[in-house]
Amino acid sequence: MTDSEKKKLEGFLAKALNIATEDMDSLYNESGELSDLSIAEKADAARIKKLKDDAASQYKRGLKEGASKVETELKDKYEIDSDLIGVELFSHILETEIGKVSNDNKDITAHPEYVKLKLEQDKALKAKDKEWQKKLDEAEAGFRKQAVLSKVKDRALAALEGLKPILPEDSRKAAKWKAMFVNEVLKFDYQEADDNFIPLKDGKPREDDHAKLINFDDHIREIASDFFEFETAERRSSAGNRDTSNTPPDKPIKDKEEFVKLSAEAKTPEERIKIAERFGVLTNK
């Protein structure tokens, strides 16, 4: 890993996961190579815990607001002027309504007003509890998915480095190509299993044409091959003598269909970059 790559990685970890600069050394082995992401995983776990705690607080606040609304409606309906809340309010209303009933030996819990009020109470509280439980479950599912995708992104970029992609010499363009690659990777869903990730399609593990499961490394290699060419001994020896006769003309690309077609026909990353610039995917900012 180059110093420039280390600087970019450490900058991302400091900004996204709030990892202190002095803790970055634990990422590398004695040779300076990236070897241990446990500090990033711990920081990300702490971030997810905070998000869950915030969601739980929001859930409790929602229950309180829902109960307050029910209490207000009951006070208006039964014309109660009181600061009582919760169970005390319901008890007060019940006692008031029961007091209106003649003093006989009938079971007051069977009185229509008692039964009606009790049903209203149970229905309102159950509905509000169900509503906020659903919101909490959805929030937790979203947090879990984002946590998995965050790990997938890091693993995908590491796998890409191992494939030795041929990147533009311009670091800005190289970064944009990596970003496009990551965006394509994150279009899929993933299931985390035993420190690995299973790529999913339509909710099921991806399979090749022979019904064989596609593992994460092959999945990443397949996506990366749509964006990059990879270093070989032959390419390194002839790097200074590349054929650029097929460079697309510098004219605007009319639509996405043409952009996809030309990108597939391009033979080098440089050609793909020029095609993307003509289509407006890459801009100077």
Q: Region 83-96: what's the mean pLDDT?
A: 74
8 Å CB contact between 35 and 27? yes
Is 276 a residue whose pLDDT tops 50? yes
* Cα torsion 123, 128, 130, 131: sign: positive
- Give the list of residues 6+ apart from residue 138 with CB closer than 8 angstroms, or none: none
d(CA 197, CA 216): 6
Give the CA dihedral 131, 136, 137, 140, nearest 10 degrees: 160
Q: What percent of the chain has pLDDT over 70?
A: 83
Q: Label residue 2 exposed, middle or buried (CB < 10 Å: 0-12, 13-18, 19+).
A: exposed
8 Å CB contact between 73 and 125? no
Is 111 a residue whose pLDDT tops 70? no
pLDDT, tens only, 7-33: 777 777 777 777 887 777 787 787 778
2: left (phi over 0), alpha (psi -120 to 50) or beta: beta
Is 249 a residue whose pLDDT tops 50? no
pTM, whole model, 2 decimals? 0.41
Separation of first and last alpha carbons in the chain: 27
- Give the list of residues 6+ apart from residue 17 with CB closer than 8 angstroms, or none: 40, 43, 44, 47
Q: What is the pLDDT of residue 243?
A: 46
The residues that bridge with 241 in the sheet, in sequence order, are none
8 Å CB contact between 112 and 93? no
- Give the list of residues 6+ apart from residue 257 with CB closer than 8 angstroms, or none: none
Token digits of residue 181: 């690659």
Q: Are strands 204-205 and 189-193 parallel, antiparallel or unpaired?
A: unpaired
Is 100 a residue whose pLDDT tops 70? no
Instruction: Give the pLDDT band of residue 244 (cuts 50, 70, 90).
Output: very low
Q: What is the pLDDT of residue 220?
A: 94
pLDDT, tens only, 36-84: 778 888 888 888 888 888 777 777 776 667 777 777 877 777 777 777 7
Q: Are strands 196-201 and 204-205 parallel, antiparallel or unpaired?
A: antiparallel
> 4 or 187: which carries more pLDDT confidence?
187
8 Å CB contact between 36 and 47? no
Token digits of residue 150: 């965050």
pLDDT, tens only, 116-175: 777 787 788 888 788 888 887 788 888 888 888 999 999 999 999 999 999 888 889 989
